[in-house]
Amino acid sequence: MNTPFSPPPLPLSVIVVSADSGPGLRDCVRRVLACSTPLELLLIDNASTDGMPEAAARAQEHEPRFRLIQNHANLGFGTAVNRAAREARGELLLVLNPDCLLDQASLDRLLAVFAREHQVGLLGAVVCDTQGVPDPASYRRDPLLRRALASLFGGKGERVEVGGAVPDHLVEAEAVSGALMLLPRQLFERLGGFDEGYFLHCEDLDLCRRVRDAGWRVLLAGDVRVPHGKGGSSRHRPVFVSRHKHRGMWRWFRKFDPAARRPLVAATVWLGIWLHFLVQIPGQLLRRARNADR
């Protein structure tokens, strides 16, 4: 009896989630597919209305390594990655933001870390703005309450930000940026993927923490610098994005911070998070209006 044919696994599956991400999405897709590494690119779209995912698909209609997966609604970042990961064939998963521009040299350096280092559970890179300035989120600590307070009020002790220049070599980290994350698919599946209780923001911090709690290493490839454009969704829907960011902060606190076990402290943190969200709304609406006038 003939058995169904199963294609062999690939070394790498690149997963890009789009949600009205803008024209930079096409550049992201083009740059990934320009790499000679055997890979597949899964573009999973959260019900965009800007037409960019379809434009990318038309541009790559003869590219067998490319596949567009379309969701009926915006399911959130982590949920979309999890859905794409279930269809991925790569031994490694590269979760890449739609405004990140990857090149072959950077990809080679990232893959080389997995070839030579022991017990690597998750690897990040230094993501930079258009002027080449590193994003501090590339290299940070768990946002424990005591660290967050030190960051906010300038107190003594550790802060969420590591501080100083971002390393230019391979280092261990507590957390790296979710704009670029490379990890073994088997480990991702064993951990249950991203926590779908987050919608947008902080799910990367959550995954880094669970990787470490499972006994694996989180590393930052400091010599890999990837341009990152800080997406269109944040500019067009700042209040929506901010609400989910604050919601994610609250979820991470309840899951991982020992201070959450103290009811009075937890109530104060909840109040502080949502007051911070409310205070930011006028400025966000003003910036959106200015962007619309440009």
- What CATH number has the domain spanning 10-233? 3.90.550.10
The confidence score (pLDDT) of residue 87 equals: 96
C-beta separation of 77 from 199 below 8 A: yes
The confidence score (pLDDT) of residue 230 equals: 65
Q: Would you call 50 helix, strand, or coil by DSSP?
A: coil
Instruction: Report angle CA 28, 106, 217 to the nearest 5 degrees.
Output: 105
Indicate the pTM of the whole model: 0.92
The confidence score (pLDDT) of residue 153 equals: 85
The confidence score (pLDDT) of residue 67 equals: 97
Instruction: Report angle CA 106, 120, 28 to the nearest 5 degrees.
Output: 30
pLDDT profile of the chain (294 residues), mean per 10:
55 97 95 97 97 96 97 96 97 97 97 95 96 94 95 86 93 97 97 97 97 98 91 70 94 97 96 93 79 62
C-beta separation of 270 from 225 below 8 A: no
C-beta separation of 20 from 236 below 8 A: yes
The dihedrals phi and psi of 131, each to the nearest 5 degrees, come to -95, 5
Burial class (CB in 10 A: 0-12, 13-18, 19+), 235: middle
Alpha helices in the chain (DSSP H): 24-33, 52-59, 77-87, 104-116, 145-153, 185-190, 203-213, 232-236, 238-256, 263-293
What would the two tokens of residue 173 be?
Answer: 């980290």
Where exactly are the structural domains of the chain?
Answer: 10-233, 234-293
